[in-house]
Amino acid sequence: MQPKKKTAIALRKMKSAGERIAMMTAYDAAFARALDEAGLDALLVGDSLGMAVRGERDTLNVTLDEIAYHCRMVARATRHAHVVCDLPFLSYQISAEEAVRSAGLLVAKGGAESVKLEGGAEYAKEIARIVRAGIPVMGHIGLTPQSVNLLGGYGVQGRDEATAQKLMSDALSLQDAGCYALVLEMIPHELATHITASLEIPTIGIGAGVGCDGQVLVCYDALGMNPDFTPRFLKRYAELYAEIGQAVRTYATEVKSGAFPDEVHSFATKPVQLAPAASASPEAAKVYGATGS
Ligand code: KIV
């Protein structure tokens, strides 16, 4: 029997059922189909697309329309996994009204089934308003890449008592505001385990250790499309960059030698006499499809 489409409620219930959530990012239909059929619970159309797909330095210039466009491709190809889409920089920070409008656009135009936004207790109002509009929200605390300029980089967060305490109370505020799940990015595993144990909603970690209720990785990183990116938290499950290189080198060699396309990859026809074009050489009068032609 085909597994059913995963809803935000189903993801939330996985925590009480003791089932871990496996999530990866996806940005287009081809990858979404492969990841979905491999059995992931959720696909995140992350604003990491700015870096992973477009090669930007950060996620800050991804717009709402751009991410909705990517989300549409992912949503179309995904039959089972839950599709959650990031609210990009400045699409929810200005007012609760704009937050609802932006989230609504990702659902209506992008086909998202829930949205994710970065930030702590200071966004409780925006989260509550989006949820009130009927859209499930996933929170995201710890390293929040949209604040990279404030944080001064992409390092581990919550290493001292004050910041750890702030993350703990942010997590509770986001749960109270109505989040159905919470991403914990780049925090010490002891803190992530403590937060996870204190919440009813599931935590999904990236660089936050095994004590979370689930894990998320950027698909291109996990599948080895980004060979120079080797942070400690990242495990590579494939070496696609190397495999693609090997495949393309073979293709180019075969094209240049004439080994491709061979007979198996070519079309044949019945012998037909083609009238030569006015300026054609005698060669053009050949019988096409005849043996030896
Ligand atoms: O944009 C993204 O890909 C993310 C994940 C790393 C959690 O927010």
Do 217 and 277 sit in the same domain of this protein?
no
Regions of the chain where pLDDT drops below 50: 291-293
Determine the pLDDT at residue 293.
Answer: 41
Do 288 and 164 sit in the same domain of this protein?
no
Q: ω into residue 276 within 30 of 0, thus cis?
A: no
Determine the pLDDT at residue 123.
Answer: 98
Residue 161 known to be catalytic: no
| Residues of the domain holding 158 | 8-222
Do 122 and 56 sit in the same domain of this protein?
yes
Do 128 and 208 sit in the same domain of this protein?
yes
Nearest alpha carbon, ligand 1 atom 2 = 46
From ligand 1's centre to the CA of 210, what distance in Å? 18
- Tokens encoding 287: 């019988």
**Residue of 23, 24, 25, 187 with the most ligand 1 atoms within 8 Å of its CB, for mutation:** 25
Do 104 and 29 sit in the same domain of this protein?
yes
CB 32 within 8 A of CB 73: yes
Question: Is 235 within the bounds of a domain?
Answer: no
CATH of the domain at 144: 3.20.20.60
CA distances from 272 to 29, 68, 290 (A): 42, 51, 8
**Residue of 21, 24, 40, 48 with the most ligand 1 atoms within 8 Å of its CB, for mutation:** 48
Question: Is 199 within the bounds of a domain?
Answer: yes
Confidence (pTM)? 0.93
CA distances from 133 to 29, 53, 190, 291 (A): 28, 31, 35, 70
Dist. CA 127–CA 178, nearest whole Å: 7
The fraction of the chain above a pLDDT of 70, given in percent, is 94
- Which tens digit of pLDDT belongs to each residue from 172-205? 999 999 999 999 999 999 999 999 999 999 999 9
Q: Which of 190, 222, 254 is the last residue of a domain?
A: 222
Number of structural domains found in the chain: 2
In three-state secondary structure terms, 13 is helix
Of 56, 126, 185, 239, the active-site residue reads 185
Question: Is 103 within the bounds of a domain?
Answer: yes
Do 191 and 281 sit in the same domain of this protein?
no
Find residue 203's DSSP bridge partners. 182
Determine the pLDDT at residue 283.
Answer: 62
From ligand 1's centre to the CA of 279, what distance in Å? 61
From ligand 1's centre to the CA of 47, what distance in Å? 7
Do 281 and 176 sit in the same domain of this protein?
no
Question: Is 17 within the bounds of a domain?
Answer: yes
Determine the pLDDT at residue 272.
Answer: 80
Q: Which of 160, 189, 222 is the last residue of a domain?
A: 222
Do 95 and 191 sit in the same domain of this protein?
yes
224-228 contacts, C-beta under 8 A, 24 or more apart? 225/52, 226/52
Nearest alpha carbon, ligand 1 atom 5 = 46
Strand bridging mode 214-217 / 21-25: parallel
From ligand 1's centre to the CA of 257, what distance in Å? 44
**Residue of 24, 40, 47, 144 with the most ligand 1 atoms within 8 Å of its CB, for mutation:** 47
Do 285 and 187 sit in the same domain of this protein?
no
From ligand 1's centre to the CA of 289, what distance in Å? 55
Q: Which residues line ligand 1 (CB under 6 A)?
A: 25, 44, 46-48, 86, 140, 183, 185, 206, 216, 218
156 HSE (CA, 13 A, CB side):
16
Do 79 and 218 sit in the same domain of this protein?
yes
Do 216 and 275 sit in the same domain of this protein?
no
40: closest CA among 268, 173, 220, 215? Answer: 215
Question: Is 2 within the bounds of a domain?
Answer: no
Determine the pLDDT at residue 151.
Answer: 97
Ramachandran assignment for 202, one of left (phi > 0), alpha (psi -120 to 50 degrees), beta (any other): beta
Do 148 and 281 sit in the same domain of this protein?
no
Determine the pLDDT at residue 4.
Answer: 87
Computed from CA positions of residues 11, 16, 19, 22, in that sequence, does the dihedral angle turn out positive or negative? positive
Question: Is 274 within the bounds of a domain?
Answer: yes
